[in-house]
A and B are shown apart, each in its own frame.
Chain A
Amino acid sequence: MKPFSFEYFKPNNIDEAISLLNGYGEDAVILAGGQSLIPLMNLRLARPKYIIDINKIAELSYIKDTNGGLSIGALTRHREIEKSDIIKSKYPILSKTVSLIGNPQIRNWGTIGGSISHADPAGELPTLLLALNGKVKVVGNQGEREIDGDDLFLGYLTTSMEKTEILREVYIPEISPKMGWEFVELTKRSHDFAIVSVAVLMSIDNAGKCNDVRISLGGVGSMPVRAKGAEEFLLDKAINDDSINEAANIASEEAEPESDIHASAKYRKEMVKVFVNRGLISALDRVRG
C-alpha cells in the first residue's frame, strides 16, 4: 500500500504555512505527527496533492501554564504532555488521558493539534476537550480566532475550522484542585480507540451538593458530546450511588451511538451507563480524597 504522489513543503514559520495553505486550498493538507494522516495516505483513502509539513515550526510546540489556564502549542507531542510535571500536578486528567493514547511510538509523534483537528469521535483528546471547556486558537489568512470546543466538532472527522486555517494552540481553563476527575474508556485491547469513553470533572460545595459537573462522551456517534441532561440532573444534588446511577441512565438515554463491527449501538448505550457510573464514582473519590 503505497501513497499517491504529492508535492512537499516544509515551511519555516506559520505565515509561510498559511500562505501555502491558501495557495493550494482544497488539495493541500497539514502534516504534523502523521500518525493519522499517513496511514490514510498509504491506504490511498487520502490523496492530497500538496503536503505542508509543519514539524519545523518550533514556535508551535510549547506548554505554558498561564494565569487562568494552560496553553499547549499544537505541535506538542502526546509524549511531552504525558511527561509534563506541570500537567501532572495541575491537570492530571490530561496526563491520564494522553497516556491512554495508542502506544509509545504513536505518542512520540502524535500531536495534540493533530488529534483534535482530526476529530475522531473515538479519539481521547476531542472527548476530553469538551469536558475541560477547552478551546482552540486557529490562524488563517484573516488572522487568528478562537473556537470553543462546543463549536469545534461538527461530525465525523469534521471540524468548524476552515480548510485554510491551522490549529495553533489548545487552551484549557484552569481546573480547581478541589475538582474530582476521571477519564475512563472501554477498549477491546488496551489503548485502542475507545468503544465508549467518558471524561468527568466534578466539584462539590460545602453543603455536599454538586456545583459543577462536566461529563463528555466519546465513541457514541459522529462526534464527542457533553451529556448535558446528566449534568443538569446532578447540579445542586447530593452525589451518591443513587444520583450517580440516575445520571448514568440519563446519559445513556441521551446518547445516540452507531453500530460498527466492533460494537453495536445497543451495547454502546449500555456501556455509556457503565462508564459514566464508573467515571462519576471515581471523580467523587477524588473530590473526597
Chain B
Amino acid sequence: MKEYKWIGAKVKRFEDPRFLTGRGNYIGDINCPNQLHAAILRSPHAHAKIKNIDYSDALKLPGVFGGLTGGDVANMSDPFMTLVTVPMKYYCMAFNKVRYVGEPVVAIAAENRYIAEDALDLIKVEYEPLTPVMDSEKAMEKDAPLLHEEAGSNLCWHDTFPYGDIDEAFKKADEIIKERFTFHSYSSTPMETMGCIGNYNPAEGSFTAWSTLHVPMLFHMALAMALRVVGSKLRLIVPDVGGGFGNKAKVYPYVVLACLLSKKVGRPVKWIEDRREHLMACVQPPGRIAEYEVAVKKDGTILGIKEKLIDNVGAYTRLPEPNHMMRPFQILVGCYKIPAIEIDGYIVNTNKCPSGANRGLGLQQYYFPLERIIDIIAKRLGMDPVDIRFKNFIQPSEFPYTTPNGSIYDSGDYPNTLKKILEMIDYKGFRKEQEKLRKEGIYRGIGIVTIVEPGGVNVGLLSMSLGIPILSGADDHAFVRVDNTGGVTVLLGCPSMGTGLLTAAAQVAADILDVNPENINVISQFDSSTHPWSTGTHGSRFACSMAEAVAGAARIVRNKALMVASGMLEANIDDLDIKEGLIFVKSVPEKAIPLARVATITNFSTALLPPGFEPGLEARYAFRFDKANLADEKRRMNMAVTYANSAHAAIIEVDMETGEVKVLKYIVLSDAGTMINPMIVDGQIHGGVIHGFGGTFLEEFIYDENGQQLTTTFLDYLLPKAPDSPDIQIEHTITPSPFTSIGAKGIGEGGAVPVPVLMANAIEDALSPFSVKIRDSRMNIEKVWTMANKS
C-alpha cells in the first residue's frame, strides 16, 4: 500500500475553529439587503379540496408585503419532474387540493418572521374535506380514496426485477421460508432545519437562491425547469449546512417557493423552516412492507429470494423517490453469494408527508428483512446464525464479485470481518454467560449483523424506475489551483454538511502536492455558477468519487509544476520531487524552486513556458468511474463505485418488567478500505449508530386514522440524548478498493443502517426462551415489554 503523509492521518479538521468560535455561516446567518421573511400556512387536513383562499386581511397587517398561493405557483411555474411515469403534478404548494397535514397552502412575506406568523392567523381557507387513506395496502384497494386523479391509482409505480434463475432456485430448495416484515418511518432530523433565500432579479430574469440543498446539482435541472429558466439563470449557493443526512435535499420545493414569492413581491425572501414544520412536512421516509420467500438448502445455503416490497411514499412521489426501493439494488445480495433474487416493487401514495432522502436511503429498510432472515433460517435449520453467514459469504478470492443484478463488489474479506468481531465480543463466552444468567431470570441477547455499504452512485440508478434505464455514470469534478504565493485553493462539487470532506479533500491535495494542508483552502460555500459539477453530497460518495476528482486535479497540477520546474532547474522531470511546497532535484537538493515561484511563472512569465503548455498552475479534473456502466437488457448495472463492509455486534439485556433494553456492549468492525482520515470515519460511524439507535428505540412518525400528525415537536418525536446513548467501540480492517487510486471506499451511512435489524436479532435472541418472533422494526419499551410478557 502506498505511503502517505496526510492521507490516513488523524488530522484535526480545518473547518472546526470557525464552528467552535461561532463563526459558522449557516442559512440562518445569511441575510440579503432588503429581504423579507416568509411564513407558510399549512393544511390542517390530510385530504381535502381547496374551495377558496382569502388572504386579503393578512395583507392589511402592517409589515406584510405579499402572499403566494398554489394558484400563483401553478401560473408561475411548472410541476416538478419525477422519477415515475404516471402523471402526477407536484408543485411547491398545494394546488386545488391538499394531500397531507402540513402541506403548504399560502405563503406570506413580511418584515420579520413574527409578523409573518401573525399574518397567517388572518388567512381564511375554505376546504371540502375528503376521506384520507394512510395505509399503503388499503391505498391499493379498488375503492380507496384517490390522491391524484390524473394518476388513476394510488399505486403510482410497480415493477418486477428478476435476476438469476429464480425458478430453478425454488425448485432446488429443501425448504421455502415465508415471512412478512414491516419497517417504520423515522428520519435523521438534523439540528439545523432547512432554509432558503430566493432572490429574483427582474433586470436579468434570473434567480439566485441560497439554501441548505446539499445535493445542489442533482436538483438544479429540476429547479430551473420548474422556474422556467435556463440553468445559467438559476444560481444556487449552499453555505455551511448544519447536518444534512439527505433530509435537506427536500428544500428544493421551498427554493422554488421563495424564488416565486420574491418574484411576486419584488424583494428577496428568506424562509427558515421551524422545527414543527420540519417534523410535519420535511421528509418522512417510507414505511415498508416486505414479504420474503427464501429458498434454502438444509445445509444453510441460500439459493434465492423472492421479495415483494411495498413503500408508502406519502402524498407525492417526489425526487429522489422511488429511490428507497431502487438504491438497495446496489447491494441486493448483501454479503452473500445468493444466485437469484427477484424484487417485486410497489410504490404507493397515501395522505402523509412525502418521503425523500434520509441517511441510509433504503438500506436499513432493505437489510432489516435480509439480516433477520439469516437468523430465521438458522432457527429453522437448527444452526447458528453465524454459521449461516459463513456458509453464504462471498469469499475473498472471488473479488471483484459481480452480483446477479450487476453490482461489481470491489474487495472485502467478509469471513475475516465476522471472525474478528466474534472474537472481539467473545461470542462463545457470551453464550455460556447467557445460559447461566437465564437461570437467574436475567435475559441477555447478542445480535450480529454483516453488511455491505455501497459508496458512490451510478446515476443510472435514478432511471431504473423509468422502465429502460438510460442514465449512467458516477463522475465527479474538482478544481485545484496553486496561486502566486503558494496557497492552494480547491473547489468541490460537493457542499459541506459537516462530514469532514473539506478536511479530507485538503489531505488528499496536500499529499499529492506535498504542501502543508494549512495552506490549502477548500472552499466551503458551493456556488453553481462557479463550482465544478457533481451531483452533490449524498450516497456516501465523497471518499470514492470526489476525493478521486481532487486527487486527479492535484496530480495534473503537480505534473504541470514539475514540467515547469524541470525547465527552470534544467533537470529531468523524473529527477524532481516536491517537499513542503519546494520542488527540488533529488540528486542535488540545493537546486530548488518554490511552488509559488512556479505558479508566478505560469501566470506572469508565460513566454518561458514550453510550447503548448497551458498557462496557470491550476486544473479541473473529472473523475470518470469506468465501471459505472449502462444497464443491459436485463437491467443489470453496477450502481455504486465502492463497496465497504462492516459487522456490528451488540450485547443487550431486556428488563422483563418494563421492556427497557440496555445496550451492554456495542462493537463495530469496519472495512472502509484506505481511510483518508480515520478520526472522521469513526465519527461517522458513531453518529450513524446513534441515529439507528434512535430510530429503533425512540423515533417514529405517527398519524391517527384521520391523518392528523401526532409527532410534531421534540416532546413527541424523541431523539437520543447523551445519558441514554451507549458507548461504541470501533475497530478497523483495511481492504483497499482496487477501483480508486487512493483505495478509499465511500462511507457515512453504514453506522445507521444495521442498527434496527441488529437490535431485532439481539432482542429475539434474549427472548428466545419465550418463542418471541420479531418481524417489525420498532423496539420501543412497550413493544418489547409486550413481546417479553406475551406468554
Interface residues in chain A, defined as those with a beta carbon under 8 Å from any beta carbon in chain B: 1-5, 43-44, 103, 186, 188-193, 261, 263-264, 267, 270-271, 274
Find out whether the CB atom of B781 lies under 8 angstroms from the CB atom of A188: yes
A43 to B113 Cα, complex, angstroms:
14
Q: Is B276 an interface residue (CB 8 A)?
A: yes
**Which residues of A have CB within 8 Å of B609?**
none
Sample of 16 more A-B contacts, CB < 8 Å, known A4-B118, A188-B718, A270-B789:
A1-B274, A1-B275, A43-B713, A44-B117, A186-B658, A189-B721, A189-B723, A190-B721, A190-B723, A261-B702, A261-B710, A263-B781, A263-B782, A267-B785, A271-B658, A274-B658
Interface residue ranges of B766-791 to A (CB < 8 Å): 780-782, 785-786, 789
Shortest C-beta distance, A279 to chain B (Å), equals 13
A5 to B119 Cα, complex, angstroms:
12
Q: Is B657 an interface residue (CB 8 A)?
A: yes
**Which residues of A have CB within 8 Å of B715?**
193
Q: Is B463 an interface residue (CB 8 A)?
A: no
A190 to B781 Cα, complex, angstroms:
13
Find out whether the CB atom of B724 lies under 8 angstroms from the CB atom of A190: yes
Smallest Cβ-Cβ distance to B657: which chain A residue: A274
Mask of B688-711 contacts with A, CB within 8 angstroms, 1/0 = 000000000110001000000011
Smallest Cβ-Cβ distance to B724: which chain A residue: A189
Q: Is B613 an interface residue (CB 8 A)?
A: no
Shortest C-beta distance, B443 to chain A (Å), equals 16
A44 to B702 Cα, complex, angstroms:
22
**Which residues of A have CB within 8 Å of B657?**
274
Shortest C-beta distance, B645 to chain A (Å), equals 32
Smallest Cβ-Cβ distance to B276: which chain A residue: A1
A263 to B781 Cα, complex, angstroms:
9
Q: Is B114 an interface residue (CB 8 A)?
A: yes
Smallest Cβ-Cβ distance to B710: which chain A residue: A261
A131 to B525 Cα, complex, angstroms:
58
Q: Is B16 an interface residue (CB 8 A)?
A: no
Smallest Cβ-Cβ distance to A267: which chain B residue: B782
A45 to B716 Cα, complex, angstroms:
15
Q: Is B231 an interface residue (CB 8 A)?
A: no
Smallest Cβ-Cβ distance to B720: which chain A residue: A189
Shortest C-beta distance, A280 to chain B (Å), equals 14
A248 to B141 Cα, complex, angstroms:
48
**Which residues of A have CB within 8 Å of B786?**
267
A271 to B713 Cα, complex, angstroms:
25
Given A1-B275, A271-B658, A188 and B113 contact (CB-CB distance below 8 Å):
no
**Which residues of A have CB within 8 Å of B716?**
261
Shortest C-beta distance, B451 to chain A (Å), equals 27
Shortest C-beta distance, A250 to chain B (Å), equals 18
**Which residues of A have CB within 8 Å of B698?**
188-189
Interface size counted on chain B using CB atoms at 8 A: 28
Find out whether the CB atom of A2 lies under 8 angstroms from the CB atom of B113: yes
Selected A-B contacts with CB under 8 Å, 22 pairs:
A1-B117, A1-B275, A1-B276, A2-B117, A103-B721, A186-B658, A188-B697, A188-B780, A189-B698, A189-B718, A189-B723, A190-B721, A190-B723, A190-B724, A191-B723, A261-B702, A261-B710, A261-B716, A267-B785, A267-B786, A274-B657, A274-B658
A95 to B566 Cα, complex, angstroms:
77
Find out whether the CB atom of B276 lies under 8 angstroms from the CB atom of A5: no
Shortest C-beta distance, A103 to chain B (Å), equals 8
Smallest Cβ-Cβ distance to B697: which chain A residue: A188
**Which residues of A have CB within 8 Å of B276?**
1, 43
Find out whether the CB atom of A2 lies under 8 angstroms from the CB atom of B114: yes
Shortest C-beta distance, A153 to chain B (Å), equals 21
**Which residues of B have CB within 8 Å of A267?**
782, 785-786
Shortest C-beta distance, A7 to chain B (Å), equals 15
Find out whether the CB atom of B711 lies under 8 angstroms from the CB atom of A261: yes
Interface residue ranges of B444-482 to A (CB < 8 Å): none
A44 to B274 Cα, complex, angstroms:
13
Given A189-B698, A191-B723, A264 and B713 contact (CB-CB distance below 8 Å):
no
A189 to B720 Cα, complex, angstroms:
7
A188 to B716 Cα, complex, angstroms:
11
Given A4-B118, A261-B702, A192 and B718 contact (CB-CB distance below 8 Å):
yes
Interface residue ranges of B225-272 to A (CB < 8 Å): none
Find out whether the CB atom of B723 lies under 8 angstroms from the CB atom of A264: no
Shortest C-beta distance, A18 to chain B (Å), equals 30
Interface residue ranges of B16-70 to A (CB < 8 Å): none
A2 to B272 Cα, complex, angstroms:
12
**Which among A193, A261, A264 has the greatest number of chain B C-beta atoms within 10 A?**
A261
| 9 A-B pairs closest in CB distance | A190-B723, A2-B114, A274-B657, A267-B782, A1-B274, A189-B724, A261-B710, A2-B117, A261-B702
Shortest C-beta distance, B93 to chain A (Å), equals 20
A240 to B789 Cα, complex, angstroms:
25
**Which among A4, A103, A267, A274 has the greatest number of chain B C-beta atoms within 10 A?**
A267
**Which residues of B have CB within 8 Å of A103?**
721
**Which residues of B have CB within 8 Å of A44?**
117
**Which residues of B have CB within 8 Å of A189?**
698, 718, 720-721, 723-724
Smallest Cβ-Cβ distance to B115: which chain A residue: A2
**Which residues of A have CB within 8 Å of B117?**
1-2, 44
Shortest C-beta distance, A42 to chain B (Å), equals 9
**Which residues of A have CB within 8 Å of B697?**
188
Smallest Cβ-Cβ distance to B781: which chain A residue: A188
**Which residues of B have CB within 8 Å of A274?**
657-658
Find out whether the CB atom of A264 lies under 8 angstroms from the CB atom of B782: yes
Shortest C-beta distance, A51 to chain B (Å), equals 15
**Which residues of B have CB within 8 Å of A2?**
113-114, 117
Smallest Cβ-Cβ distance to B721: which chain A residue: A189
Smallest Cβ-Cβ distance to A268: which chain B residue: B782
Mask of B334-367 contacts with A, CB within 8 angstroms, 1/0 = 0000000000000000000000000000000000
**Which residues of A have CB within 8 Å of B781?**
186, 188, 263
A56 to B288 Cα, complex, angstroms:
55
**Which among B275, B658, B723, B785 has the greatest number of chain A C-beta atoms within 10 A?**
B658
A263 to B657 Cα, complex, angstroms:
15
Shortest C-beta distance, B287 to chain A (Å), equals 16
**Which residues of A have CB within 8 Å of B710?**
261
A44 to B781 Cα, complex, angstroms:
31
Interface residue ranges of B620-660 to A (CB < 8 Å): 657-658
Shortest C-beta distance, A245 to chain B (Å), equals 12
**Which residues of B have CB within 8 Å of A43?**
276, 713
A274 to B788 Cα, complex, angstroms:
15
**Which residues of A have CB within 8 Å of B702?**
261
Shortest C-beta distance, A8 to chain B (Å), equals 15
Shortest C-beta distance, A269 to chain B (Å), equals 12
Smallest Cβ-Cβ distance to A273: which chain B residue: B657
- Identify B118's interface contact among A5, A188, A191, CB under 8 A: A5
Shortest C-beta distance, A118 to chain B (Å), equals 14
A171 to B577 Cα, complex, angstroms:
81
A270 to B789 Cα, complex, angstroms:
11
Smallest Cβ-Cβ distance to A47: which chain B residue: B121
A44 to B723 Cα, complex, angstroms:
31
**Which residues of A have CB within 8 Å of B275?**
1
A43 to B713 Cα, complex, angstroms:
9
**Which residues of A have CB within 8 Å of B113?**
2
Shortest C-beta distance, B92 to chain A (Å), equals 21
